[in-house]
Amino acid sequence: MLLQTAVQEFSHQERFSALQALLGGRLLECQRQAHIIRGVFAGEPQVSSQVSLNDQGKISGRCDCGQPLCVHQAALVVEQAARAALEEQGRSRRSDTAIRLFRSDLKERFDPFPAMARHRILYLLAPSSEGLQLKVIKGYLNKNGRYQLKGPLGFELLQSQPVPKYVSQTDLKLLHRLREVAGDPGEGQTGESSIVATSLEAQTAQQALSPAETSSEQAIIIDLDCAHGGVTSDPHDSNDKLALLGSDFYRLLFASGRCFFGKVAGEPVRLATHYDEDYLDESFMVRLCPGVWLDTCSGTGIIDKRQDRRINQHLLEGVDLDGDWLPRLEIARESLDNSWQEPLLAPVDVARFSMVHRGQSYDFESLNYLGAGHKAFMAQFAKCQLLLNPLPLLTSQFEPAVTETFSEGLRLVPGEVSEHVILLRYLSLLGWQIELVAKKRFVQVAANAWYGEVNSADKDWFELSLGVEVEGERVNLLPLLVNLIRQGKLSRDFHQGASTNLSEDKGKKDKTQEVPLELESGAILTLPAARIQRILAVLDELFTQQPLNDHENLVLARHHLGRIPQLDEAINRDEKALAWSGEAKLRQHAEALGRYLGESQTGKLARAELVVPKDLNAELRPYQMDGVAWLQFIKQQGFGGILADDMGLGKTLQTLCSILMDKQAGVCKAPVLVIAPTSLLSNWQREIAQFTPSLSSFVWSGRARHDNEQALKDVDVLITSYGILAQDAERLTQLNWHQVILDEAQTIKNSRSRITKLVNRLQTRHRLCLTGTPMENHLGELWSLFHFLMPGFLGTASQFQRQFKQPIEKDHCDASRQRLAQRLAPFMLRRTKSQVATELPTKTVINTLIELSQSQSDLYETIRLTVAEQVQLALRQTGAKANRLMISNALLKLRQVCCHPAMLNLGQIGDAERSKAAISPEANSKEGVTGFDGGQDELNAESSKLAWLENKLPNMIEDGRNILIFSSFTSMLDLIAEQLDRQQIGYEMLTGRSRHRDRIIERFRRGEVNVFLISLKAGGSGLNLTEADVVIHVDPWWNPAAEEQASDRAYRIGQDKPVFVYKLICQNTVEERIQQLQQSKQALAQSMYQTESLTAAEMDRDDWLALLQPITE
């Protein structure tokens, strides 16, 4: 015990190196006198060492190597401890006892379930007309060891967070494999096997389940289509369905101990292995797949190894079971495969036993086979295994899901291998061969240099490798980082806990936090945590499920070449130069992007190099020249982008200049396709004629468009609408375009919409989005735009959700926001008026709080009380998402009351019926104002907003103001129009129903009327109305970005008067609360270049309840 305590005084590296020295025969002499151990080690010159031990196991000594505590001293202590153990060994066990104990150890299995957990997942193999069905059921383990069935289970179980305690790792692996075979039931893909979703009544009848215990989940039922009797075991059988699940799946299924045949009663299916001398009557068995049989009589799952050439009777040829067999133990480092679950298990040290006979090595399974018919040999084999009892069998420490990929008989080395040096030396003194695979285990190494490599297999993708040189050899860091990520040791913000999770070496107190990386040689490479953090911020894909290819490189789309200069910055910040190699063109491409990024950050874009086309009939402002330079750069580099300038800064002019430059450079081999809202088609054609008359254009719209088919190929710019694209999708998606430009690109913000999918099918070399509001409601809209521009740039929708949307919107993670902003920066150019149009007059936004009239207040409170109770009940029961339609309708009623009670269509309904009608969806199925003859004057008096307009508009007009009035309700505009008629105030109105839009707009622009009523949807974008200097928003819209865009119909380049924006908000109502909620979330919106808002889809339970609070403070 004293010697064992003394061994612990040495470091892991000293103990491990000491064992290597002993196994290598470097210890020439070793003597112990009392508490002093002396020894001599081989070398030039020889090394003499001495160790003194006190009664507590503390050590002191000296050594020729000059170290106070060294490898030589550790080797002396280990040697003496092993010799002492050798002297203390007792008599060898009897053969029968050794064999019995060995077989008992082999049967021991790891139990993954907590002591009090009684639920289990059961697997039932049930006969069917097609062969067999595999059903997944939830069961309860009674005290008598029998299962009570609870109901069928579905794949929804895999989405549970956290995973229920009754789901083991084996269950997870089996269910993931079944889902792969069955396909994604959510998409209706069933693969070659099939999922069957049966009714609860059918399930109850089939499984004898209690109806109260059945689940509403879609049951997992897999048709196996197995053959019965007389079927050959040819692995190349033409019926692929038999091999879908494979022998590995069935081995794991049977090893779970919870698979039953026919019914869940009695014993589960047992697992057995048959070798060449075993008899197997195939005619009475069901073949589940090549190499796996089911004996339905005995309930045994048989792994058929009769054709296994490695383990058969040939093993007996040339061996003498009574001869000399040398035990051999190999200590290696292994990664445990649990890829179906996060986090991954950390690598462990394992001991692999074998025996050497006549120069040939025999593994554990072969030795077990050989000993089956030879008791003396089996006893020798068993006694060797008993010596390894301090190293438990892997099967007793982990579930079958983990151990099935390893060879039989593998043992775990608990803790660190350095803690077992006495045992290993003891075995070597007994004559065992001990092999340490990781020769440099625990050795600290440093990076001599950093390297990066880029190569490309095709024009759209490239491979990235990043690593360091260690002792003259390259080490690819990417797989090492991915392993740490999947083990949960690295996260996107790991720096906060790096020292505790990754640098726990006792006695080491570095000021700089470091990340240890274990190399294949066993050596530990340490790198600065700050640098690793910067690398992970650039290579965010390393956090995805399977980021690396077979060559352990990261495969990225070509538009991600911007990562290369970012990696340079991440590593060179510590004065560690990153040397690049690989394909020269890719590196040049990346360097060009790096130069652009540097210029854009310093405000020194290549404006001087830009030659404005002579045919451009406009003088570009400096910021517009920057914009054109940016447009040309992203096209030359093969990227897409969003020109997101503020409304009125000339996005169309900059785009036309870029197109003109392409034409004059001779690179336009096909027309440019511009897709815009219908209201903007004539505006595009007008601006082409005004600014770039040398560009030919054609508006592809109207019924006669097909009479001009030649225009699809002959013009420079083809202009069409999103609606026409939907009608002519088959024709337009077959053509090749030089560039596709989406104006008001927020139209494709819904990635699931039909128009978005059609736009993504267009064939073109270059893609551009024009929008002043690239994000109106949530970050998913940005993903949709970039998926059109550069598919894969922001990952898949689910990856973007996990990596950016969820952390930023829900968790308010600033690090994720910064990563996203950094990634978008080169491909989204946004300038605001305050930045570049300093000559513009001021814009004043006035939030005007209006008190409800008494009748409005009474009606509002009546409706609020009614809907609040219903909403609270619905939110408690099923949540906001499931009740979105009902909640949206309830809030619609409250917003309409704030505008005008008449909008509820209650003019001819008695007071007792008002609240009931107000919350009925049928009461507002059409947004018209009907049934109000006779009582209109009284109803007008009930609207505080109409009263405000009636009072303010005459004074504004008298002061020479021109006024835009926006509302999201066309019925409210109708009511305002009726009031203007009574006041004899001239006006025009523009809604989705309006015809001759240009005439209506021109009447206001020429000053024939002073008031312009506009619906937010019909006129909120694309209009230039600088003649107006007052904007009134009658009702607040969910999306403040849309309101801002509408206000900027007046506040844009060309405006020479101060602009006043009035927002009419009813005090202590849902309108005021919506505004407060929006203001609380403005920081995120500003950081993403655009104001974000809440919508009915984005708000959570607490948001909804806050909206429905009483109107009194």
pLDDT > 70? residue 687 = yes
**Residue 1088 confidence (pLDDT) above 60:** no
Q: Mean pLDDT across the stretch 486-502?
A: 60
Q: Would the pLDDT of 926 be above 60?
A: no
Segment 480-502 mean pLDDT: 68
Top pLDDT among 680 and 1031 is at 1031
Give the pairing type, strands 736-743 and 672-676: parallel
pLDDT at 497: 40
Contact indicator for 816, 807 with CB cutoff of 8 Å:
yes
Asked whether the beta carbons of 416 and 506 are under 8 A apart, the reply is no
Q: Give the pLDDT band (50/70/90) at residue 591.
A: confident
CA quadruple 727, 730, 731, 734: dihedral sign: positive
Maximum Cα–Cα distance across the chain: 120
**Residue 33 CB partners (closer than 8 Å, separation 6+):** none
pLDDT at 190: 33
SS3 string, 462-475, reads EEEEEEEEECCEEE
User: Residue 227: which pLDDT band, with cuts at 50, 70 and 90?
Assistant: low
117 token code pair: 């957990």
Q: What is the pLDDT of residue 598?
A: 63
Full DSSP string of 841-881? --EEEEEEEEPPPHHHHHHHHHHHHHHHHHHHHHHHHHHHH
Report the mean per-residue pLDDT for the chain. Answer: 81
What is the number of helices (H) and of strands (E) in the chain? 39, 40
Is the pLDDT at 186 greater than 60? The verdict is no
Which pLDDT tens digit goes with each residue over 622-643?
899 999 999 998 898 888 999 9
pLDDT band at 71 (very low <50, low <70, confident <90, very high): very high
Q: What does the alpha-carbon distance between residue 301 and residue 284 come to, in Å, rounded to a whole number?
A: 13
Does 906 score more than 60 pLDDT? no
Tens of pLDDT, residues 298-352: 999 999 988 887 888 888 888 999 999 999 999 999 888 777 777 778 889 999 9
* Phi/psi at 570 (5° precision): -65, -35
Rounded-to-10 torsion of CA 150, 153, 156, 160: 40
pLDDT of 949 > 50? The answer is yes
> In one letter, which amino acid is 230?
G
**pTM of the predicted protein model:** 0.67
Domains and CATH numbers, the chain: 2-89 (no CATH), 119-304 (no CATH), 322-436 (no CATH), 462-503+510-579 (no CATH), 605-836 (3.40.50.10810), 846-1107 (3.40.50.300)
Phi, psi at 688, each rounded to 5°:
-65, -45
- Provide the 3-class DSSP secondary structure of residue 939: helix
